[in-house]
Amino acid sequence: MSDGALHYRSAGVDLDASDAAKARIGRLVESTRTGGAVGGFGGFGGMFKVPSGMRSPVLVSSADGVGTKVKLAIDAGRHSTIGHDLVNHCANDILVQGASPLFFLDYIAFGKLDPLVAEAVVGGVAAGCIENECSLIGGETAEMPGLYTEPDYDLAGFIVGCVEEDRILGSGRVKRDDVLIALESSGLHTNGYSLARKIVAERMKLGANDAFPGLDSSVGDVLLAIHRSYLRTLKPVLGRVHAMAHITGGGIPGNLNRVLPSGHDAIVDAGSWEVPTVFAELARAGRVPREEMFRIFNMGVGMIVVAPRDTADDIIQSARVAGVVGWRMGELRPGSGNVVIR
């Protein structure tokens, strides 16, 4: 007979699954180690050496998630790239200030922990850390029944990088005759998925394995394309850059304005590039107004670089070497800090 004793499993938390997940994740964490990492997997806190050889180092940090793109990954049963999205998003956020990543921490919360899913998600995080040359030094994998419903989970990340104080990029460096250089995105990146999922499901009536209209790829392939990192593209030319805008939530107008000095407008020539098919089809099927599209999605532009006119060709060439298309998309003019899309 039962003595009426309760165990953690009866409350929905499986410690055996947690132990299995940790065993699977350990080797992935170790694969990201760089020279600054101190200690091994499993400590209470991650440790990293302060970079040496810098005159006046400034730490730059960012925390973010991947929005409802994670729901698409869950519905499609494809968990191996969503962690890569997370790292690249965070790396881009600190790159705009000129910082190179040092280390990363992740947080995954499940309704019911699945060790295989956890391994796949962290595998993506590890791949992102390797691409961006940073160490995954810690994190948390939580099981929270009652807050999340199986098979749902959520994902967030925290990154720390470093830059010399006199090389911090931003609006203070921007000059009147600077130009705008666009770097192509690899798709939606990690923003606008609440609307994209609604359009695909309710207007297009498509599932993850159906063909995406106008493209030779499935809905899952198109919408789960990995958020591009621009670190390797821009690191060789950071000394020639004045400012950058990572085009995330808010689109071009809601992010480019963050790096404009007072007294300047950014004039964006929307005719300088062809909006990718995925955005055109979402706009068509959802009957989304053009202005709304530019406020929600990146529209094919993942990063905008603000730089002197005579460095534009070098920056575009650096992008080409990295396999990324870049182009002149506009310029600065006297104004009141607005982004004007023409």
Find all residues with CB under 8 Å of 315, minimum gap 6, and list them.
Answer: 181, 234, 237, 240, 241, 305, 307, 326
Q: Which of 180, 184, 321 lies closest to 243, judged by CA?
A: 180
Tens digits of residue pLDDT in 134-155: 999 999 899 998 899 999 999 9
The answer to whether residues 203 and 286 touch, using CB atoms and an 8 Å cutoff, is yes
**pLDDT for the residue numbered 14:** 67
The model's confidence at residue 23, banded by pLDDT at 50, 70 and 90, is confident
Query: In percent, how much of the chain has pLDDT > 70?
Result: 95
Tens digits of residue pLDDT in 45-78: 888 888 888 999 999 999 999 999 999 999 999 9
**pLDDT for the residue numbered 227:** 98
The model's confidence at residue 29, banded by pLDDT at 50, 70 and 90, is confident
Task: Please report the domains of the chain, with CATH numbers, ordered by start residue.
Answer: 8-167 (3.30.1330.10), 171-341 (3.90.650.10)
**pLDDT for the residue numbered 287:** 98
Tens digits of residue pLDDT in 189-202: 999 999 999 999 99
Q: Residue 8: pLDDT above 90?
A: no
The answer to whether residues 174 and 244 touch, using CB atoms and an 8 Å cutoff, is no
Whole-angstrom distance, CA of residue 35 vs CA of residue 189: 30
Q: Which of 167, 168, 171, 139 lies closest to 155, judged by CA?
A: 139
Whole-angstrom distance, CA of residue 144 vs CA of residue 132: 31
Model pTM score: 0.92
**pLDDT for the residue numbered 259:** 95
Tens digits of residue pLDDT in 290-302: 999 999 999 999 9
**pLDDT for the residue numbered 266:** 96
**pLDDT for the residue numbered 1:** 44
Chain-wide mean pLDDT for the chain? 93
Assess whether the previous peptide bond of 236 is cis (omega < 30° from 0): no
73's tokens: 């990954």
The answer to whether residues 156 and 107 touch, using CB atoms and an 8 Å cutoff, is yes
Rounded mean pLDDT of 325-336? 95
155-32-183-309 Cα dihedral, nearest 10 degrees: 130
Rounded mean pLDDT of 105-109? 96
